[in-house]
Amino acid sequence: MATGQISRRHRLVAADLAGENAEVLRESEGEEASAAAEEKVFGLEMLWKKMIIDFF
């Protein structure tokens, strides 16, 4: 009986940790996508500024 209870607790803890890991991964992927978008915008801004400077 005790073994079944421990096993059930282990499964519940493992499921909880898996859910937390999945949430952290989703947040991390969102931050990476946001950072990549910011880098792209920054690169385009720098390119535009260079084109203006080269024009004059």
The reported pLDDT for the residue numbered 6 is 62
Query: Which tokens belong to 4?
Result: 């079944």
What Å distances lie between residue 43 and 15, 18, 49, 56, CA to CA?
Answer: 42, 37, 10, 20
Distance CA 23, CA 36 (A): 20
Inform me whether the pLDDT recorded for 1 exceeds 60: no
The reported pLDDT for the residue numbered 2 is 55
Distance CA 51, CA 6 (A): 67
Q: Give per-residue pLDDT as tens, 22-54.
A: 777 777 787 888 888 888 888 888 888 888 888
pTM: predicted TM-score of the whole model, two decimal places: 0.47
